[in-house]
Amino acid sequence: MKHHLKVDEKISLRLLDPGDKDVLFELVDDNRDYLKEWLPWLDHNTTSNDSLEFIKSTIQQFDDNLGPQFVIISDGEVSGMAGFHPFDLANKCAEIGYWLSENKQGQGIVTKCCKVLISQAFKTYSMQRLQIPAAENNLKSRSVPERLGLKFEGILRNRQNLYGKLINHAMYSMTKDEYLGWHHNKSFKSEV
C-alpha cells in the first residue's frame, strides 16, 4: 500500500502522520461551523492534541489492516480527509467517509478521491462490497456516490446522533462484480 496516492495533477491522498496534528486541527477549527452541520465529532476535537489522538487511532487502524485514512492535498495544501472506516473483514465490506474544507467545495475533489478509494477497496484490499453513507439531507455529500454510479439502497433511519438530534442516512453501495464491470466502462475510467 502506497502512503501517497496521486488523484490527478493537483490532488493527492496521503496517509495521516502525527506531524499533521496542527494543520489538521487548524483546518477543522477554521471550518468548524461549516462542518458541524453534518459531522458529529466536532465537540470532541477542540485542541491539536485531540487531532493527534485521532491521527494515532487512524495509524493503529492502518497497522491493524483495517484500512487507511488520508488527508486530501489539493493545490499543495491539506484540504480535508477521505478514507475508510474500519473494514468489516468478516464480510469483506469497506465504507468510505470524507469531508472537505468549505473553500474547496464544488471542484469535484471528493468525487475524484472517492474514485481512487473505490479502486483501492476492490483491487488492493479485495473487498466484495463498498458502501458510502451520507446524511439524508446532505445533498452535496449524496451527490458523490451518485456521480460515481453507486446504487442507492435506501434510508437508514436514526443512524446518527448529530448533537442530540437523530438523523437518517442514505446508503449507497457497489459490489466487486459491479466495479469490475464499471471499471472497464469508459464512463468510470473518464474524469469525474
Give the whole-angstrom CA distance, residue 61 versus residue 1: 14
pLDDT tens-place values along the chain, 192 residues long: 458 999 999 999 999 999 999 999 999 999 999 999 999 999 999 999 999 999 999 999 999 999 999 999 999 999 999 999 999 999 999 999 999 999 999 999 999 999 999 999 999 999 999 999 999 999 999 999 999 999 999 999 999 999 999 999 999 999 999 999 876 664 554 444
Cell 488520508 locates to 70
Which residue range forms the structural domain that includes residue 162?
4-189
**Residue 8 and residue 112 in contact, taking contact as beta carbons nearer than 8 Å:** yes
Pairing of strands 165-175, 151-162: antiparallel
CA distance 167 to 115: 26
Number of CB atoms found within 10 A of residue 29's CB:
15
Among candidates 192, 147, 151, which has minimal Cα distance to 7? 192
The CATH number of the domain holding residue 120 is 3.40.630.30
The number of domains in the chain is 1
Could you tell me the pTM of the whole model? Answer: 0.92
Residue 189 has what pLDDT?
A: 46
